[in-house]
Each structure stands twice: as C-alpha cells, then as structure tokens.
Amino acid sequence: MPIAVTGLSMRNRLLLTLVLSLVLVAASALLGLWQTQRMADTTESLYADRLVPLSLLREMARDLGPQGLGGVINPVVGIRTKGSDRDAQRLAEALRRQWQAYLGTRLDTTEDVLAQRLQPQLDSLLGEVVTASQASPDDIRELNRLRLAVMRQVDDLAGFQLSQARLDTERTREATGDAARLGVVLVSVTALLCGLMVWTVWWRYDEERRAGADARERLHRMYQALSQTNQLIVQREAVLALGPSAEQTLFEGLCRICVETGHSRVANVVLQDGSQYVRAASAGDVERWMPGAPPRWTQDSAFGQSSVSTRAILSGSHQVINRPLQDPRVIQPGAPVVPPGVEGLAAFPLRRNGQVIGALSVLAGEPDFFDETVLRLFDEMTDDLSFALDNLTRERERAQALVTAREAGDELRNLMQAMPVHMALTRLPDGAVLAINDAMCRRYGITREEALGRRLVDLGVGLLPSYRQRYYELLQQHMDVVGLPVRANTRDGRVLTSRVYARRVRYHGQDCVIGCSVDLDDTTDGAAALAAVMPKAGTTNTGSGAQSPGESLHADPQS
C-alpha cells in the first residue's frame, strides 16, 4: 500500500487534485489560444497574399476563355457586329482592372518576372480586341492565338500561386506540429502529477471498485457487441457486397461477435428451409458444448422438440432458458445431452421483409445470464441484422434495375451508331447531347467526346438561329417534327441544307428529343430511321407525324 502522501487528508488530496486539474485546463487553454492566434495570422496572410491573387487570376482566365473574349473573337464570318466590339471593350476594361489589382498584391521575384513577361502580350491583346469586328478571319485567328498564349501565362501564374500556397501551408503545419508537441509535454507532465494524486485516492476505494467491476465489464461487453454488429453491417454496405455470400458473411460475423465479446460459449444462426431447420453459421467449440447436435433437423425430431431456435422461429419472439439442466423442455428423450458449463440458452428470431426466416441461438456459461438488459441487447442486435437483410434485398433490386437501364442505354446508342443518317439524342429543355452517332459527328466536324453533355450551339455548330427557333416551336406544339427544311453550320464554316425529323421521348426519366437530319441530296428515309430506334428510346407517348399535338415542354431555343 503506498505511503508517500498518506500524511494528507482525503479532503486535501481532492483539493490538490482539483488544483492540478485546473492548472492543466488553464495551460491547455493558453496553448490553444496561442495556436489559434498563429493560425489566424497565417490564414490572413494566406488569404491576402495567395487566395486574393489566385481569385483575380481565375477571373482573368474566365474573361479570356470561351465565355468571355473567346466568345467575342469568333472566326466565323457574319456574326461579328459592333455590339461584339462593345462586349470586347467591356471585357478589356475588366481585364485591365483585374490585372492592375493583381499587380497591387505582394509579388515574389519569380512571380514578378512572369508578370513582366505577360504585360506586353496582354496590352497588345486588349488593344486589338476592341476592333475585332473589323478584322479579317486571318487576323481573328491570329488574335485568338494571342489570347490563348495570354491564357497559358495566366495559368502559369495561377499555378505558381498554388505552389506557394502549398509551401506556406506546409510551413504552417510544421509550426503547428511543434506547438502541439510542446503542448503534449505540458499536458503529460500535469497529467502525471494529477494521476499520482488520483492513484493515492483510488486505493482507498479499491474494494468498492472491485465490487462494481463485474457490472461495468458486463455493460461494456454489451455495448461492444452492439457496436461491432453495427460495424459489421456498415462494412458490408460500404463495400457494396451484394453477392450470394453476403448473407453468410453477416451470419458468421454475428456469431463471431457473440463469442468474442464473451456473451456466449457457442452462437449459431439457424435458418428455416421449408419444413427443415439448418444451422447456417456457427462460432465457438460446437463439438464440446453441443455434442450430438445435428446440422439439419425437423420440428418433429427429438432435437427439434428441445431446440430453442425452433421455438423462436415458430413463435416469432425470443425464447429463454436460464437453467437448462433443470428445464424439462430441454431434457427430451433422444435429444442431445446438455453438458455441464452451459448455464443458459436463448434464441432470437431473424426477419427479412417482415417474415421470420431463422434465429440466432446463444449458449451462455453464466447462471441467470439472460436478464432484461441482455435480452434487450440481443433483440436490438437481431433487429439490426434484420434491417441489414432488408437493405441487402433493396440494394440488389436497385443494382439489377441499374444494370437493366444501362443495358437499354447501350442498346440505344449501338442502334443509333448503326444508322446511316445523322442522329442525336438531346435533353429538353437545355439541349445537352446525351448520345450522338459518328455520322452526325463527321457532318459537323466534331468528336463525340466534346459533344456529350454539351449543346451543339456551344460548339459553334448546328441549326442557324432562325431555323432553331422554328424547330423548337414545332416541338412545343407537336410530338413529331417531320421533314422540316433547315440550314446548319459546320465547324469548318460550311452551311448545309437538310431536312430534320425528330420526336419527343422520355429517356431515363428525362424529357428528351431524338432526331436525325438528312441532306437534301440524300435519299435516306429519315422518318423510317427515326422509327427504327424509337422502341429503344423509352417513349411514353405514341403520337406520330407533325400533326400529333403534345404537351409544351418550354424547350430552350438556344440549345
């Protein structure tokens, strides 16, 4: 028994422990305040010196990109207007302001060199872009090359800012780590002193602690078993294990948890298979604690009459026997003998989609082990497993539905690809391309990769504005558009004359349009080609021809 500080009374020891605890809290608070101030200073520096310049550079990149000057400087003849000059003037002024604001931030030596190299090119670009409407196509292309060169240098500056921000962050992390280590030393020393005093107080209550140790350990094991059961279920859901062995993994894991956490000598999962009962999973020494127990039995057999698992499955509620060696329900003629050391039996039903499919059987080694607290624990564990089985069923059904939808989409795309006419599937109302065949890509001079998910008009191809407006007006009024004469731009500047055939459809739950175009010198039957792919497009309406009225979808005429 320790006597180092026995001269202090219990009151003084508690007061000393309280003082040391307050010192620990105060030291930790001061350290946290210091670290917080350092982090605030670092964050302010990082914001002013890195994030603000990076934001300005990204704004410049946006204004130089396709949505800014890239949209104003267009090499296609006939769309440059004085209005585009005004847009160019506005963008040029915005770029100058952003550049001046960037130059006003703190620049490193390398960053200053990059900025000086960019300055003359930016001035040249902003000086020439305001008169883009009067320039020739060759001049426009040259101007676009200059714009792209400026964008690359702006990206270089942004990349430099990001690299410097990473360096600043790393230095801050190192400084914070040093402070944290200092704090750990301080806390450890204080905790050691505090622990010494707590230990001198603790031995006076050792007998009382031992008296309550068993109860705490039991409660701990209960929560541990419940926690591990939930982890087992979460892990199965995290890896999306939907194979035929998923249930077996859950059953084996539940049995293992019951044995490893000390709640049972043996745990079994019994499943009902028609008129028979099968031991599907086990954990523990089955041969020792269940001698002579068959792997499969019927209700009328001697083992079936004495089995708590059978009764739990038939009744749909848990069955408990706390003293099996004295219970006549277990001692049946011809049934296996319960060996000494098995002090309790219990079984808890397992359900799937509301129906009892089996039971968890538990053999305990402590007398009167299954009290109300333990029964609630096992009921909750089996309820969690039943919920996991229901989720597994739903996930399998959802996965099968996704596979079916994916196969249908692939079949539609393959069928469109095989068609000789130009075909595309677009979404209403934004006009984004969901599927397009090679014939359409070759016609406009684009690739499938750049078209998918984007509007054709954003790629500079597709119907001319007046024809596009008329096309969507017809789609708002009718289910079908048949043989509409249109003119369309290609990427190389050609203007094609063709006829358009289209139909509104429902595809993967979205309002879409599937259509094809046939050049006037082509003899392909566009309506027949469109009808060939309709069964795979998921149509929900059966109207045909431009005379069939339909619901207005308010399509975006710019798409």
Torsion of CA 372, 373, 375, 376, to 10 degrees: 110
Both 263 and 373 in a single domain?
yes
Q: How far is CA 229 from CA 154, 261, 403, 521, 540, in A?
A: 54, 11, 31, 70, 46
> What confidence category does residue 46 fall into, taking pLDDT thresholds of 50, 70 and 90?
low
User: 170 and 126, same structural domain?
Assistant: yes
Look at residues 157, 187, 217 and tell me which one is the last residue of a structural domain: 187
Residue where a domain terminates, one of 390, 411, 439: 390
Of 165, 187, 209, the residue that ends a domain is 187
Closest to 474 measured CA to CA, from 423, 534, 529, 549: 549
Do 426 and 386 share a structural domain? no
pTM of the model: 0.45
Residue 87 and residue 129: Cα distance in Å, rounded? 10
pLDDT tens by residue, 243-267: 677 888 888 888 988 888 877 889 9
Segment 395-421, tens digit of pLDDT = 888 888 888 778 777 888 888 888 888
Please indicate, yes or no, if residue 413 is contained in any of the structural domains: no
Domain assignment of residue 6, yes or no: no
Q: What pLDDT does residue 1 have?
A: 41
CATH number, domain of 351, equals 3.30.450.40
Report which of 360, 340, 341, 338 is spatially closest to residue 349, judged by C-alpha positions: 360
Q: How many of the other CB atoms lie within 10 Å of CB of 43?
A: 12
3-class SS shares of the chain: helix, strand, coil, % to 5: 60, 15, 25
- Beta strand residue intervals within 240-384, DSSP E: 266-273, 276-284, 296-298, 319-321, 344-352, 355-364
Question: If DSSP codes are grouped into helix, strand and coil, which group holds residue 361?
Answer: strand
Residue 546 predicted with pLDDT over 60: no
Q: What span, in angstroms and rounded, lies between the C-alpha atoms of 251 and 501?
A: 58
398 to 391, 394, 401, 402: CA distances (angstroms):
10, 6, 5, 6
The answer to whether residue 414 sits within a structural domain is: no
- Give the model's pLDDT for residue 553: 35
Same domain, 322 and 437: no
Sheet hosting strand 480-489, strand order edge to edge: 433-436, 422-427, 510-519, 495-507, 480-489, 462-463
What's the rounded Cα separation, in Å, for the pair 447 and 440? 9
Question: Are both 367 and 476 inside the same structural domain?
Answer: no
**Is 5 a residue whose pLDDT tops 60?**
no
Mapping DSSP onto H, E and C, the string for 44-106 reads HHHHHHHHHHHHHHHHHHHHHCCCCHHHHCCCCCCCCCHHHHHHHHHHHHHHHHHHHHHHCCC
| 438 and 529 belong to one structural domain | yes
- Mark whether 70 and 115 lie in a shared domain: yes
Domain with 266 in it: 241-390
Domain at 60, CATH number: 1.20.120
Do residue 44 and residue 174 come from a single domain?
yes
Residue 399, in any domain of the structure: no
Q: How many other C-beta atoms lie within 10 A of the C-beta of residue 152?
A: 12
Count of structural domains within the chain: 3
User: Please, which pLDDT band fits residue 161 given cuts at 50, 70 and 90?
Assistant: confident
Is 293 a member of any domain?
yes
Asked whether residue 553 is assigned to any structural domain, the reply reads no
Separation between Cα atoms, residue 519 and residue 280, nearest integer Å: 67
- The average pLDDT across 497-519 equals 88
Asked, for residue 24, whether it belongs to a domain, the answer is yes
Joined tokens for residue 146 = 């200059």
Peptide bond into 429 cis (omega under 30): yes
Residue range 187-226, pLDDT digits in tens? 676 677 666 666 666 666 555 556 456 656 766 777 777 7
Highest mean pLDDT among 3-7, 25-29, 130-134, 312-316: 312-316
CATH of the domain at 489: 3.30.450.20
Q: What percent of the chain has pLDDT over 90?
A: 16
Is residue 350's pLDDT more than 90? Answer: yes
Contact 252, 238 (CB under 8 A): no
323 lies in the same domain as 436: no
141 is written with which tokens? 């292309």
pLDDT at 58: 79
Q: Based on the fold, state whether residues 441 and 360 are members of the same structural domain.
A: no
Residue 311 has pLDDT above 60, yes or no: yes
Residues 6+ apart with CB under 8 A from 35: 176, 179, 180, 183
Tokens representing 438 are: 């090679």
Place of tokens 């006009």: 431
Checking if the pLDDT of 555 tops 60, the result is no
205, with CB counted inside 10 A (0-12, 13-18, 19+), is exposed
Work out the average pLDDT over 39-58: 71
Q: Does the pLDDT of residue 497 top 60, yes or no?
A: yes
Assess if residue 7 is contained within a domain.
no
Query: Who has greater pLDDT, 76 or 370?
Result: 370
25/150 same-domain check? yes
Are 432 and 384 in the same domain? Answer: no
How many CB atoms lie under 10 A from the CB of residue 393?
14
Closest CA to 440 of 427, 460, 424: 424
Rounded to 5 degrees, φ, ψ at 134 are -100, 0
Cα gap 237→227, rounded to integer Å: 15
